[in-house]
A and B are shown apart, each in its own frame.
Chain A
Amino acid sequence: MAEENEDDVTIEDLDGILRRVPNWPDMFKLDKNMNAYRPTSACFTDKDGGKKLSVTLERPLLDGGGTHKDAIAIEPKFGLARIEAGFVRHNVVPAQKIQREPTGTDLYHALIIGEKDKRARKAMAKAAQLIITPEIT
Chain B
Amino acid sequence: MNNLKIVKSNRPTLSTSIDAKYPLPIITTHEKVAELTQLGDNWDGYGALSPTKEALIGAMQLAMELFEEGTPLPDVFPVPNGNIQLEWSCFGFDLEIEVISNRKLIACFDNLATDESWEKPFTFELTELRKVIEELTLRNQPLPRMRVVNG
Chain A interface residues toward B at CB < 8 A: 20, 22, 24-25, 27, 29-34, 40-43, 45-49, 54, 74-75, 78, 117-119, 122
Contact = CB atoms under 8 A, between A and B. Distances in A.
A9 to B, nearest CB: 25
A20 B90 contact: no
A47 B93 CA distance: 27
B106 A20 contact: no
A45 B108 contact: no
A47 B106 contact: no
Contacts, number: 74
B45 A25 contact: no
Interface stretch (B11-19, B46-54, B61-69): B46-54
Contacts of B85: 40-42
Contacts of B77: 25, 27, 40, 42
Nearest to B78: A25
Contacts of A78: 45
B42 to A, nearest CB: 9
B46 A20 contact: yes
Contact of A45 (B43, B80, B94, B112): B80
Contact of B87 (A29, A47, A49, A75): A29
Contacts of A45: 79-81
Contact of B44 (A22, A30, A31, A117): A22
A29 B75 contact: yes
Nearest to B120: A118
Interface of B: 35-36, 39, 43-49, 75, 77-81, 85, 87, 89-94, 96, 98, 106-108, 112, 119
Residue with the highest number of chain B CB atoms closer than 10 Å, among A30, A42, A74? A42
Contacts of B91: 32
Contact of A32 (B35, B78, B80, B90): B90
A32 B91 CA distance: 8
B135 to A, nearest CB: 14
B36 A42 contact: no
Residue with the highest number of chain B CB atoms closer than 10 Å, among A24, A29, A47, A122? A47
Contacts of A29: 75, 87, 89
A118 B96 contact: yes
A82 B92 CA distance: 25
Nearest to B35: A25
Contacts of B93: 33
B24 to A, nearest CB: 19
Nearest to A44: B80
Given A31-B89, A33-B90, A22 B112 contact: no
Given A25-B78, A31-B89, 11 more contacts: A20-B45, A22-B44, A25-B39, A27-B77, A29-B89, A33-B92, A40-B87, A45-B80, A45-B81, A47-B47, A78-B45
